Amino acid sequence: MKYIETEIDGVYIIEPKVFNDARGYFLEAWKKDEFEAHVGKVDFMQDNESKSSYGVLRGLHYQKGKYSQAKLVRVIKGRVLDVAVDIRKSSPTFGRHVMVELSDENKRQLFIPRGFAHGFLVLSEEAVFTYKVDNIYAPQYEAGIRWNDESLALKWPIAPEDVLTSEKDLQAKTLAEADLFE
DSSP string computed for 33-62: HHHHHHT------EEEEEEEETTBEEEEEE
131 is catalytic: yes
Consecutive H or E run containing 168 = helix 167-170
Among residues 12, 38, 61, 137, which one is catalytic?
61
38 is catalytic: no
- As a residue count, the chain comes to 182
Among residues 12, 62, 118, 131, which one is catalytic?
131
> Cα–Cα distance between 177 and 154 in angstroms, integer?
17
Residues of 97-107 as b/e, b for ≥16 C-beta within 10 angstroms?
bbbbbbbeebb
What sign results for the dihedral spanned by CA atoms 110, 114, 60, 57? positive
Pick from 138, 100, 91: nearest CA to 119: 100
Bridge partners of residue 26, in order along the sequence:
19
Residues that are catalytic: 61, 131
